[in-house]
Amino acid sequence: MHESGRPVDLTEAQFDAIQARKPAALARIEAYLKGHLGAADPAVMQAFRAVPREYFHYIYSEHRATPGDAYEADPKPWALGYGSALSDYLGQAYMTQVCKPTPADVTLEIGTGSGFQSALLSRIVSRAYTIEIIEPLGRAVGKIFAPLGYGNVSSRVGDGYYGWPEVAGGFDVIIVTCAAQYAPPDLFKQLKPNGRLVIPIGQPFKRGQVLYIYTKDESGKIHSRRDIGVFFIPMTGAMMKHPAPPPAATVQAAATGAAEAEPLPAAGATQK
């Protein structure tokens, strides 16, 4: 943590206590994925084993490390400061798996937050990009990947509404970790054929938000699937200034029973 510019005071006994809780947390993740998706993707489970979640428990507005909160028995979001949060690990596991990441993929996360989501993806994919709109948070979190050896993660401060158009070739996976009122059009433009966009959609700070999974087929048509109930803090920036565009003729809705689906645990989004 010192290499990332974040002070931490952790004894060996405290570190051992944190690690002792990790196997139970991994078992909860595996059971949750099996219960909701039929199976736990081995690549997702391996990423959770590899990434030290305690490293991402940090309150940036107070310059205070909180690694002792990691691997809690009752998964929940944890404050990062600046109105942002580290999402609960069950919700992050679910969203990671429905992205269907593969080793050749290039991914984009909208809402870096703690950096944990892109750190997970970086253990599975070829290249992970992540954007944070909150400047002090984005600048601080951008320093944490290199000390972990995650050289395939690129981060920047910006408005994720516009994606990252400078990345040549676009993205196989785009994951949005804040509630949007609609899917930003630029994200579809940056999605590769056969790519997946995973995004919570709903009104700010209201129940009834739903996780949508969009796919782009080989011809460029967009198909949508309504997945599961979620609760995230809202995407801001340009999202709050631009009205929703009319539904594109290329979007073929294939909604499937999300209204009765069990919601994911309340998730703290990372874009303000």
- Domains of the chain, each with CATH number or no CATH: 2-253 (3.40.50.150)
The pLDDT assigned to 246 comes to 74
Report how far residue 216's alpha carbon sits from residue 172's, in angstroms, rounded to the nearest whole number: 10
Is residue 179 a contact partner of residue 241, using CB atoms and an 8 Å limit?
Answer: no
Lowest mean pLDDT among 140-154, 172-186, 243-257: 243-257
Helix 12-37 to helix 42-50 angle (10° resolution) is 170
Q: Read off the amino acid at residue 15.
A: F
Report, as residue numbers or ranges, the catalytic residues. Answer: 87
Better-predicted residue by pLDDT, 270 or 80: 80
Instruction: Write out the H or E segment, with its range, that includes residue 213.
Output: strand 209-216
Residue among 205, 174, 187 nearest 268 (CA): 205
pLDDT at 7: 75
How confident is the model over 190-206, as a mean pLDDT?
92
- Best CA proximity match to 129, nearest among 111, 148, 108, 143: 108
pLDDT score, position 213: 97
Confidence band of 1 (pLDDT split at 50, 70, 90): low
